[in-house]
């Protein structure tokens, strides 16, 4: 019994210490953000790296979700005699929940692992120390640019996933029962407002903050050589995915309270 309590207490302590270190890291990044230079060139490079290169994977994931929703939802609605609600069910599901969450998880897998491994490799090879010795703030040059790029690109990638999901959902539905795209979209958007579209999309900016912050934090605290680099990449993906899911639960409740 005592050993179990000791293990739980030790785990809780490590968890709280990790959160404290993450908070201090966030403060260091925020403090460096208001100082010149603003590293615009590096920010543009990260926007391309995180946004453009994640687009094919995000689009493919969105298309797959649209096809699955069209096929699965159709059979369920037909059983209840609500086949006419299929476009609305597909569009509403993708825009409100599936598109943002799938985008967040896909980006946390690709970008989180990439940032964690890249910064981890720089840490163990002392490149971060060399950057700091040359007078460049590593929190701004390495962390802030990547975090901002994640925040800015996640909503745009979500729009791409939503568009691909709706298009493929229409195609999958048309293959079974032909319907014009105009009619599909008209029925899908019936009864929705701009707030129904805006809030779910821009909540992915919070996902971007989580992914960028955790991946940079895990990468810049890497220890133990190449084994540590692999551990940082893995922990970046696992932790960012976990916190994206937890943040989604909280943000859905917030959106229902303030935007419903």
Summarised one tens digit per residue, pLDDT across range 85-110 is 888 888 888 888 889 999 999 999 99
Residue 63 pLDDT grade (very low, low, confident, very high; cuts 50, 70, 90): very high
* Of 214, 256, 257, nearest in space to 239 by CA: 214
Instruction: Give the model's pLDDT for residue 71.
Output: 83
Question: 32 lies in a domain?
Answer: no
Q: Residue 1: which pLDDT band, with cuts at 50, 70 and 90?
A: low
Cα separation of 137 and 40, whole Å?
Answer: 14
pLDDT at 139: 87
Mean pLDDT to the nearest integer, 165-187? 86
pLDDT at 203 over 70: yes
Within-domain flag for 242: yes
Between 158 and 254, the more confident residue is 158
> How many domains would you assign to the chain?
1
Is the sign of the CA dihedral 107, 113, 116, 119 positive or negative?
A: negative
Domain that holds residue 102: 39-259
Is the pLDDT at 253 greater than 90, yes or no?
no
In a domain? residue 13: no
Pairwise CA distance, residues 84 & 188, whole Å: 10
Query: pLDDT-derived band of residue 184, with 50, 70 and 90 as boundaries?
Result: confident
- Supply the mean pLDDT for the chain: 86
Cα end-to-end span (Å), the chain: 48
172 belongs to a structural domain = yes
Please say whether the beta carbons of 197 and 95 come within 8 A: yes
Residue 251 covered by a domain: yes
The pLDDT assigned to 147 comes to: 93
Q: In the structure, what pLDDT confidence band is assigned to residue 259 with cuts at 50, 70 and 90?
A: low
Residues 6+ apart with CB under 8 A from 93: 69, 73
For residue 200, is it within any domain? yes
Contacts of 231 (CB under 8 A, 6+ apart): 222, 224
What does the pLDDT average to over 29-40?
A: 79
Residue 10 placed within a domain:
no
Residue 126 φ then ψ, to 5°: 65, 20
What pLDDT sits at residue 209? 94
pLDDT tens for 228-247 read 888 889 999 999 999 999 99
Answer yes or no: is pLDDT of 164 > 90. Answer: yes
Residue 52 lies in a domain: yes
Element (H, E) at 202: helix 194-202
Q: Look up residue 69 and give its two tokens.
A: 């929703």
pLDDT of 35 over the 80 cut: no
pLDDT at 166 over 70: yes
* 38: pLDDT strictly greater than 70: yes
The answer to whether 216 touches 119, Cβ cutoff 8 Å, is: yes
Specify the higher pLDDT residue, 201 or 210: 210
């Amino acid at each position: 019994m005592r050993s179990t309590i000791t293990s739980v207490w030790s785990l809780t302590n490590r968890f709280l210490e990790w959160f404290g270190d993450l908070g201090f890291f966030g403060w260091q990044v925020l403090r460096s953000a208001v100082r010149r230079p603003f590293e615009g060139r590096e920010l543009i490079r990260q926007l391309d790296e995180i946004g453009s290169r994640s687009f094919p994977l995000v689009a493919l994931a969105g298309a797959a979700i649209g096809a699955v929703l069209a096929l699965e939802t159709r059979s369920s609605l037909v059983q209840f005699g609500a086949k006419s609600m299929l476009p609305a069910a597909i569009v509403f599901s993708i825009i409100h929940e599936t598109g943002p969450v799938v985008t967040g998880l896909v980006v946390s897998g690709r970008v989180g692992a990439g940032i964690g491994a890249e910064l981890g490799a720089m840490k163990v090879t002392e490149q971060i120390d060399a950057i700091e010795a040359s007078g460049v703030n590593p929190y701004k040059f390495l962390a802030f640019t990547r975090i901002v790029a994640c925040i800015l690109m996640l909503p745009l990638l979500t729009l791409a996933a939503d568009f691909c999901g709706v298009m493929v959902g229409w195609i999958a539905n048309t293959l079974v029962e032909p319907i014009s795209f105009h009619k599909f979209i008209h029925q899908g958007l019936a009864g929705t407002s701009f707030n129904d579209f805006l809030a779910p999309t821009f909540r992915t900016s919070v996902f971007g903050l989580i992914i960028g912050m955790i991946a940079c934090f895990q990468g810049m605290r890497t220890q133990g050589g190449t084994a540590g680099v692999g551990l940082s990449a893995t922990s970046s993906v696992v932790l960012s995915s976990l916190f994206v899911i937890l943040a989604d639960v909280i943000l859905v409740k917030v959106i229902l309270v303030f935007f419903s």
